[in-house]
Amino acid sequence: MRQLKSARESQSRNPERPESYTVRVAPTKESILFSPRSVLVTGGAGFIGSNYLRYVVPRYPETRFVNLDALTYAGNLGNLTAIESADNYSFVRGDITDATLVASLFASHAFDAVVHFAAESHVDRSILDPTAFVTTNVHGTLVLLQAARDAWKSTSLPVRFHHISTDEVFGSLGYEGEFRVDTPYNPRSPYAASKAAADHLVRAFGTTYDFPYVLTNTSNNYGPFQFPEKLIPLVLRNAASRLPIPIYGKGENVRDWLFVEDHCEALDTVLRRAPLQSTYLIGGSEEVSNIDLVHQLLSLFDELAGRNEEPSTDLITFVSDRPGHDFRYALDSTPIRDDLGWTPRHDLKSGLRKTVAWYLENQEWLDGILNQEYLSYYDTQYSERG
């Protein structure tokens, strides 16, 4: 990795990196440190990956984006119609655990960046069966890391691997405090444990092979094209179909919500401007309990749907709690704001309004998802909850 190292040293790496994996080198807000020409995006047919591709493909016409996605239940090419015929975009259906395929893509596309979204991403599914979470999130990440390391070992060009992770790796907070980059990991669900393992692998590659990564941990995203297994789209789907709206426990758990388009802008900023081997936490600084969130969401739904009948909040049903339910997440996003000048453009109110309007206008998209797989998942997840 010697030549790789010298290439990367020109990318503002801090030679005095402390033992902690936090690198606090402040690049100037205007400086563009890295401008990739050929990017492998994994999981680009999912919720955040598709929002990211719709953001970057038109914005960087000189850069080629290859979307590698297995199209699991969560992947949907219907999320990408806006960019599917762009000259700088192509799609490959395949699995990130397929080392032969991944190596051949590196050989044919000469990627200088990987933006790695592909994952099993739903906590409740990980409780039902963790197997796919370890296969995709841990083994799949290892396959990508090895392919990138091998492809880049003798390059003299700047290259980087952006690993997308979650705040859930840090565990659960009480009423006070925030996660910081140096908060010890304490994953408590199979999903969080698999993401934590992947994060550790990425950083271990950094330490052992001087591998050029950047890593981001993000809070709960919401917005257009989110699969209706997660809280916000599930509430909107059930409200539209006049079904009970399940709230786990007493609805007191707190999440920090980030509008997905703001997340995509933050990811683009980090890929281009963050120092190598750095971690940034990306939060919306919009903490709210689940029950308060659902009340806000349903009153917006009634307003925008023009409903004058009984309020949708009447559909709220308290059901048995998620096992090991993390109480609260909150992130200290000061470093990304101070170092890189990113700040979310949407507060919770404006983001929720856009989201409700989008789901109301895109019933067809939603209908396409409500297939047998979804209905049988829904039945398994909710029929026993009482």
Where do contacts with ligand TYD occur on this chain (CB under 6 A)? 123, 220, 230-231, 234, 246-248, 253, 255, 290, 322
Q: Closer to ligand TYD at the Cβ: 234 or 352?
A: 234
Q: Which of 55, 89, 191, 248 is catalytic?
A: 191
Closest CA to 317 of 234, 230, 225, 220: 234
CB 285 within 8 Å of CB 337: no
CA distance 121 to 336: 24
In whole angstroms, the minimum distance from the beta carbon of 322 to ligand TYD comes to 6
Q: Is 261 an active-site residue?
A: no
Q: Which of 69, 95, 120, 168 is catalytic?
A: 168
- Torsion 221-222-226-232 (CA) sign: positive
Burial class of residue 266 in the structure, from the number of CB atoms within 10 Å of its CB (0-12 exposed, 13-18 middle, 19+ buried): buried
Q: Does 195 bind ligand NAD (CB under 6 A)?
A: yes
Closest CA to 197 of 230, 163, 148: 163
Q: Which of 69, 112, 120, 167 is catalytic?
A: 167
From residue 110 to residue 149, the character string flagging contacts with ligand NAD as x (rule: CB under 6 A) and all else as - is -------xxxxx--------------x---x---------
Q: Does 71 bind ligand NAD (CB under 6 A)?
A: yes
Q: Which pair of tokens denotes residue 279?
A: 């971690």
CB 330 within 8 Å of CB 171: no
Residue 70 contacts which entry, ligand NAD, ligand TYD, none (Cβ below 5-8 A, type-dependent): ligand NAD
Q: Does 53 bind ligand NAD (CB under 6 A)?
A: no
In whole angstroms, the minimum distance from the beta carbon of 278 to ligand NAD comes to 17
Q: What angle in degrees, to the nearest 10, is found between the helix axes of 290-305 and 348-361?
A: 50
In whole angstroms, the minimum distance from the beta carbon of 312 to ligand NAD comes to 23
Q: Which pair of tokens denotes residue 11?
A: 């990318």
Interface positions with ligand NAD (CB under 6 A): 42-43, 45-49, 69-72, 74-75, 95-97, 117-121, 136, 140, 164, 166, 195, 218, 220-221, 227
What are the residue numbers of the active site?
A: 167-168, 191
